[in-house]
Structure 1
Amino acid sequence: MVDVDFEWFDPQPEHDFHGLKTLLRQLLDVDAQLFDLSALVDLILSQPLLGSTVKVEGNESDPYAFLTVLNLHEHREKPVIKDLTKYLVQKSSTVTTLSNTFQALVSPDSSSEVGLILTERVINIPSEVVPPMYTMLLEEISWALEEKEPYKFSHYIVLSRAYTEVVSTLDQEENRPQKRKKAMGKKDLFYFHPEDEILHRHSLGFGGFEYTNDEGEEKADSKRAFQEEGIRPQGHMILIEGSAFEGAVKAIGEFLGPRS
């Protein structure tokens, strides 16, 4: 057991650029190369009073986790937001419960204000760091609205990650019948962010999508860690109505918060 003290900070333009870029690269996985991540980090850091980072070695260290929200309408003319919005529209069209819905919300003639929630953390960071980030985001949005800032969101779209387990080709080469039988069955979907399953209950729709640069199952063994199966990642998105967001945040706290 190792005792670690986690600290929450506002995004720091002078310290967090490289750490946030690394976490965004992890969040977007193989599709990260489709976007100007430097421009995306600069945009996140341009609103230092909205969102938070989690660190363990003080303010000047790299973040181990972050959460922020970007107004897709307010920043619609920025190239990186154009690229992200186009990407999300394309991917949402493959999700049954989101098909056409998200596209209508971000269309040029829509009056909706959609907040894109980006959040990621180092793989072994405990999920207990998540509820404070969401709670602080709610508070920060409330304070920003008092200052007439453009954060009155009608909807939120959460970009996340999931994965399926893929039977190792090494196991198949070893001719293990039980492994082949498992591979033929329906594959369960697992979530890198356990809070996603709570957000589902408060959403208008959600679902997974294949990455544009999907590497296929043949690369699954290279992402095999602490388990027998390989991992095939995929993107995941969750659409939440603005009026339901506070309840969703409360539910995350009840699910992932410290146990008494």
Structure 2
Amino acid sequence: MASSKKKCMGGEMEINENSNSGVDEEIMYSDDEEELVNQEVQVDFEANMPCDSDFHGIRTLLRQLFLKADVDTSKLTDVIISQNYIGSVLKQSSSPEDDDDDDDDGDQVFGIFTVLNLTHRKDEECIQQIRFLLTDKCHQSPTSQTDDFLSALNSPDQHVGLLLSERFINIPPEIAVPSFESLQKDLEKAKRQNLKYEFANLIMIAKTYRLKMSDKGDAEDLMFSNPEEELIHELSDMTWNYSVSAERDSVMTGRWEDEEDEAEPLRTVMMFSASKLNNIIEKLKAELSKT
């Protein structure tokens, strides 16, 4: 396995007592530290190459995206680790003393950022499962873009990449900018080496929710688990949703669990030209700098 690459990324992580992310649970539920709940904790993060010891952490993040879908997240994790030169896992920065210890088994994975080639890898079982999931859900959620989406997905010449940007819900959206920038650099390097990462289109599957008002039954606008994905949604060429309410998404925040409003968990599929990635990153920089 290649040695880890690291890129320090600072950020504040809000500790929310209603979150099920599993982040800092010892702090959240400590009898002596209850006053820390709903406070902010300063945490530094670093990006590392995915490695074998990250297997369980990566799989956990994939499961929160795919839930009970027929996608083998174990094999998908193996694929991600096998192409560790593309993308990164997000971990808490280690101290200088920890740097002397090469054992990373105890490091928790807070996020995963990578791209999978759905065209070049179409014969691999887990990729076949993702392609079937997208095709099946697209047919079940017909829009005027259905034919265009499926045509792009199934094109043998114009490769499509699945852009995975998963993290625990308490990780701030500002972390997305350096993560996407690092991923973009990895893709450019891979293309210069003639590897199969030249994409015509990219697909993202976002965790979203829609509140159904109890008095009228009308649905409000989409809410995004990862706030920066709302901007990506606005810049996408094709978008559509499918419900995962029967799978009971456990990654909920307190503001979406109001007793008077029922949140319907969805997955929002977004497809955009790969040439837009740089523009999306610049937009994210501009918008997140306002917050």
SS in 1 for 2:146: coil
Matches within 5 A, 1:120-199: 120-166=166-212, 180-181=214-215, 183-199=216-232
Whether contact under 8 Å (1:73, 1:114) holds in the other structure is yes
Closer/same/farther in 2, CA of residues 202 and 189 from structure 1, 3 Å limit? closer
Residues 7/113 of structure 1: CA separation in 2 closer, same or farther (3 Å cut): same
**Taking structure 1 as reference, are residues 12 and 256 closer, same or farther at Cα in structure 2, changes over 3 Å only?**
farther
Candidates 106, 110, 117, aligned match of 2:153: 106
8 Å Cα contact 2:169-2:226 kept in structure 1: no
CA displacement, residues 112-166 of structure 1 (integer Å, 9 cap, x when unaligned): 1000011211111111111111111111101111111110100001111101235
The counterpart of 1:241, out of the listed 248, 264, 273, is 273
Q: Which residue of 1 aligns with 2:8?
A: none
Tell me how large the CA RMSD over aligned residues is: 2.4
Distance 1:68 1:257, change over 3 A: farther
Gaps of 5+ in 2: 1-39, 95-102
Pairwise mapping of residues 1-260 of structure 1 onto structure 2 (< 5 A)?
1-13=40-52, 15-31=53-69, 34-56=70-92, 58=94, 60=104, 61-93=107-139, 94-96=141-143, 98-107=145-154, 110-166=156-212, 180-181=214-215, 183-211=216-244, 214-215=245-246, 225-226=254-255, 227-228=257-258, 229-257=261-289
* 2-structure distance, mates of 1:222, 1:12: 25
Structure 1 runs (4+) deviating above 4 angstroms are 219-224
Instruction: Note if contact 1:155-1:239 (Cα within 8 Å) is conserved in structure 2.
Output: yes
- Give the TM-score normalised by the residue count of structure 2: 0.75
Number of aligned residue pairs: 238
- Cα deviation for residue 3 of structure 1 reads 1.6
Shift in alpha-carbon separation, 1:222–1:136, aligned structure 2, 3 A: closer
Identity %: 27
User: TM-score of the superposition, structure 1-length normalised?
Assistant: 0.83
